[in-house]
Amino acid sequence: MIIAIDGPAASGKGTLARRLAAHFNLPHLDTGLLYRATARALLDQGAKLDDAEKAVSSARGLALLDFDEDRLRGREMGEAASVVAAIREVRAALIDMQRAFAARKNGAVLDGRDIGTVIAPDADVKIFVTASPEARAQRRALELRGRGEKVDYAAILEDIVKRDRRDSERADAPLKPAADAHVLDTTDLNVEAAFAAALAMVEAARV
């Protein structure tokens, strides 16, 4: 069974994807990490984020080791990843790896922006997780505070709105629900309620 989870920044899709993967004993790929690691490689080389040539070779050169770092989850890298992710050739360089993951024998859970639309259009179930920008900013603020980062709610909200716009308006694989996705709005749901709703969607797709 392939479960595709998409949604905007800080919608809770990562938490849901992890929980669903644990529940169904499936491997999970957080595809945002691929773009974050590509952005980090560029920044570490002192290259510009819109340097398509260097971005593609960074994307191609990713190794598992590259995902094991706290810095990838920070605010700076989310923003940088969104810039790099708008480069068509970077997305192309990362497609095979993601499709191979989705094609694992017993299936997989993938979360990102274009899983249901581009990476796994034949997924057994697609969930588009969303929430109001304010709810997402509040969650992101809590998460960053928990990681010991200094938090400025207004700046986080501004980031989220900017990132939504960039991710939704890019020409290649923009953020949008697949035509056959179930939309799950978690604005007024806690983690448990969101998980229960997602589980019900997956169970319904299995029968």
Asked if residue 146 lies in contact with residue 92, where contact means CB atoms within 8 angstroms, the answer is: no
Binding residues vs ligand DC (CB under 6 A): 9, 31-32, 35-36, 78, 81-82, 85, 112-114, 163, 167
Q: Which helix (H) or strand (E) holds 125?
A: strand 125-130
Asked if residue 133 lies in contact with residue 157, where contact means CB atoms within 8 angstroms, the answer is: yes
Contacts of residue 25, defined as CB under 8 A and 6 or more positions apart, other chains included, come to 106
Q: Report the SS3 class of residue 3.
A: strand
Which residue's CB is nearer to ligand DC, number 26 or number 98?
Answer: 98
> Shortest Cβ distance from residue 116 to ligand DC (Å)?
10
> Shortest Cβ distance from residue 45 to ligand DC (Å)?
19
> Shortest Cβ distance from residue 29 to ligand DC (Å)?
9
Which residue's CB is nearer to ligand DC, number 107 or number 116?
Answer: 116
Opening angle at CA 166, ends 71 and 161, nearest 5: 80
> Shortest Cβ distance from residue 207 to ligand DC (Å)?
28
Which residue's CB is nearer to ligand DC, number 26 or number 119?
Answer: 119
Q: Please report where in the chains the tokens 């997402």 appear, as a residue.
A: 136
Which residue's CB is nearer to ligand DC, number 85 or number 135?
Answer: 85
